[in-house]
Structure 1
């Protein structure tokens, strides 16, 4: 049975969430869910994630997995909210433990919270691990570089790559977050490019460069031929040099601090306040 993919675009954060399922009345997964969040007021909403729930209910789908491609720095995950509402296990790459250690110390989050089973992830995927939902099987590829926990989910000829690579006209992920590394990103994208050329790549963000229409699906062949940062003949040294130079010019994502605090706890919100580290200029 062929995987069916439905994309949902969260305009405020330029994020794509995906529901993948085997058949109506069957089983589904959600990849990279989003909570609505206003930075100026601190208010959190569920309108977008309720749209995911409505789709699941309309198609009578059982939600087996709520998956993250990594701990995002630009939007708040709705994973815990979805689990409370419709069930499913929350999964992420095993590298999340490194991200939790770094940001847990920064935000003074007790390490015990990450292993309590109450606030954390239900499953940490190993590289090359296989999982199933309904009649479909997923294969997990560790693809670090943007972050140490980044993974790609390969399902029936579809690769859900998170932030590792974008549409060909926007390029590749930044590597200047803790645990990021341009050399690792090159290797990870090379691993994605080794998938069959017809493999469909589904990206986690589309920033619509030049004001073009929304696009979120390409192929391995198209990316290898046309990605503006990394094509099949780009050398590793050239990519590292380009990526490091570019990253020095990038601003910090505006939702970095609230996003990370929520996302390293699988979408759990703080009781009262978000913390913002203070540094001297």
Structure 2
């Protein structure tokens, strides 16, 4: 497969090398975050490929990310996700098996799991402590090689979304989009434009030269996919936030826009997989796996 791949190099001590790998089917951006000194790395929000027409799962994107890491001499220390994604299936469990690295997500995945176990009517199916090695809380810290990483809770898109801060890089998932596309939707179950506004403002409080790496891009008006911009660039030109926009103005625009959006075509498949770290529902008595899709729920 052919993906758009770009490297954003380290700018100095405690600054990571970052590779973005664009997955075109879902407009998702996957990341490799590496310590230049030790060649230790983390994978962030890597995609499990899925064809909604045939319900076929595969791992071409994840394998491409692993090959890129190998080609750059990197050792994977972490498999990270920012939230249980609604628009793509995650590759967390697959990557954990391939690399031996622990996988992690935010602790409020517990609350998302409870919400969706009710929607799917599958009590007890989702056990985040079983399927993820770490469930990060607000303010938790860990290391990628010698780089310090801090976790922020950044709700709004989902109630449990987290941001990973690594030196002058922040992996801000589905909060910001690229500046010409504004910000992400906040209408999924547990989402909130009020919470999203607060998360956006907190991220904008970071130093101006902080590199913000977003979770998605859709090539607005035919341009090539883009996913990196600084805090200063977002302050100056983000179409939803620049020009002294108030919280009330922002939320009005966000809520009106969200009311027009359809559900992602993978959403009802994705959540039952992503709340199991990318594993399919358990096999049934014929040895096959089956998705459970609620009818007329949304």
TM-score (norm 2): 0.90
User: In 2 relative to 1, CA 84–220 (structure 1 residues): closer, same or farther, beyond 3 Å?
Assistant: same
Which of 52, 76, 89 is equivalent to 1:63? 76
State how far apart, in whole Å, the 1-side matches of 2:126 and 2:228 are. 36
Matching of residue 214 in structure 1 with residue 225 in structure 2: yes
Contact 2:273 2:280 in 1 (8 A): yes
Per the alignment, residue 181 of structure 1 pairs with: 192
Alpha-carbon shift at residue 101 of structure 1 (Å): 0.4
Alpha-carbon shift at residue 149 of structure 1 (Å): 0.8
Per the alignment, residue 8 of structure 2 pairs with: none
Contact 1:24 1:61 in 2 (8 A): no
Matching of residue 74 in structure 1 with residue 87 in structure 2: yes
Matching of residue 278 in structure 1 with residue 285 in structure 2: no
Which of 208, 215, 218 is equivalent to 1:197? 208
Alpha-carbon shift at residue 171 of structure 1 (Å): 0.8
Matching of residue 256 in structure 1 with residue 273 in structure 2: no
State how far apart, in whole Å, the 2-side matches of 1:75 and 1:256 are. 7
Per the alignment, residue 165 of structure 1 pairs with: 176
Matching of residue 6 in structure 1 with residue 23 in structure 2: no
Matching of residue 85 in structure 1 with residue 98 in structure 2: yes
TM-score (norm 1): 0.95
Per the alignment, residue 47 of structure 1 pairs with: 60
Per the alignment, residue 286 of structure 2 pairs with: none
State how far apart, in whole Å, the 2-side matches of 1:95 and 1:280 are. 23
Matching of residue 151 in structure 1 with residue 162 in structure 2: yes
Q: For 2:264, what is the secondary structure of its paired residue? A: coil
Contact 1:25 1:59 in 2 (8 A): no
Runs of 4+ more than 3 Å apart: none
Alpha-carbon shift at residue 116 of structure 1 (Å): 5.8
Alpha-carbon shift at residue 158 of structure 1 (Å): 0.4
Per the alignment, residue 233 of structure 1 pairs with: 244
RMSD, matched Cα: 1.6
State how far apart, in whole Å, the 1-side matches of 2:292 and 2:97 are. 25
Task: Summarize deviations over 1:89-119 as a string: whole Å, max 9, x none.
Answer: 11111111111001112223333641562xx
Per the alignment, residue 6 of structure 2 pairs with: none
Q: Give structure 2 stretches of 5+ with no counterpart.
A: 1-12, 284-288
Task: Summarize deviations over 1:26-45 as a string: whole Å, max 9, x none.
Answer: 21100001011111111111
Which of 143, 149, 161 is equivalent to 1:132? 143
Contact 1:146 1:163 in 2 (8 A): yes
Q: Give structure 1 stretches of 5+ with no counterpart.
A: none
Aligned length: 279
Q: For 1:73, what is the secondary structure of its paired residue? A: coil
Contact 1:152 1:160 in 2 (8 A): yes
Per the alignment, residue 49 of structure 2 pairs with: 36
Contact 2:117 2:125 in 1 (8 A): no
State how far apart, in whole Å, the 2-side matches of 1:89 and 1:108 are. 29
Q: For 2:127, what is the secondary structure of its paired residue? A: helix
State how far apart, in whole Å, the 1-side matches of 2:214 and 2:122 are. 31
